[in-house]
Each structure stands twice: as C-alpha cells, then as structure tokens.
Amino acid sequence: MEKTLTIDGKQVTFKTTAATPLRYKAQFGHDFFADLTKLIPLSKINLKDVDEADTEQVQELFRLMDFDLFYNILWSMAKTADKSIPEPLEWLDQFEEFPLMDIFPQVQDLIMKNLQTTKKK
C-alpha cells in the first residue's frame, strides 16, 4: 500500500511492505512495532480539541510526542517507496517545511496495514 503527498512542493511517496519494519530496525536500531506502541498515548488525544491558546494543553501534547520517532517512521516508509532517497538527515534537509502534524495523519492507514490481522472473527 502506498500514498503520495506533496510536502514543501515535492512529491513524496510513502509505502509499507513486510520489509518496512526490518528497514526501520536496520537504520535506527529499534524495533518498529515496539516504537509504534510509544504512540498509543497520542491516540487518546483528539488534536481538534487541543486549543493552541491553552499552553498547558499544548505542553502536554509535546511532552507525549517523540518527534524523532515520527521522522524515523516517515523516512522508513519513504525509503520503502523509493530506494534512492538519501540517509534521513540528508533527506529531511531537502525540505524547508515538513509539517508532521499534517503528514502523519495522512499515512496512519499505511502503518495500520502492517499491524492488522487477516484472521476472521
């Protein structure tokens, strides 16, 4: 499964396959699925309910977020789609803007495909 987004005027394709978790571990030295569990607390927060004027609420949101994790997951998915992309820092340096809060929700379904079971209930 793949999805192409426009980020900072550039077309970026994100893709997940069975190799994505292994690519993630080879690059970053962490288990993909274990790191995904770190995002569970964020799933309990409705970003639409976060009032930007409420400093305490925004600070709590940022405290729960591991930005490296977001960048690493996105790089792994982009690398799965396009083997020619450079190492993570070089790749991210290509973007003046990289709005995580806009990008990540659009690729969540790709991540969930790696977690779902085909077992019938």
Residue 66's domain comprises 2-115
* DSSP reduced 3-state for 13: strand
Residue 100 lies in a domain: yes
Residue 34 lies in a domain: yes
Q: Domain count for the chain, please give it.
A: 1
So what's the pLDDT on residue 60? Answer: 65
Residue 72 lies in a domain: yes
Residue 120 lies in a domain: no
Query: What are the tens digits of pLDDT across the range 70-95?
Result: 899 999 999 999 999 999 999 999 99
pTM: 0.79
Residue 89 lies in a domain: yes
Residue 121 lies in a domain: no
Residue 90 lies in a domain: yes
Q: Is the pLDDT of residue 47 over 60?
A: no
When pLDDT is averaged across residues 6-11 and rounded to a whole number, the result is 96
For the stretch 44-71, what's the b/e string if a residue is b when 16 or more beta carbons lie within 10 angstroms of its beta carbon?
A: eeeeeeeeeeeeeeeeebeeebeeeebb
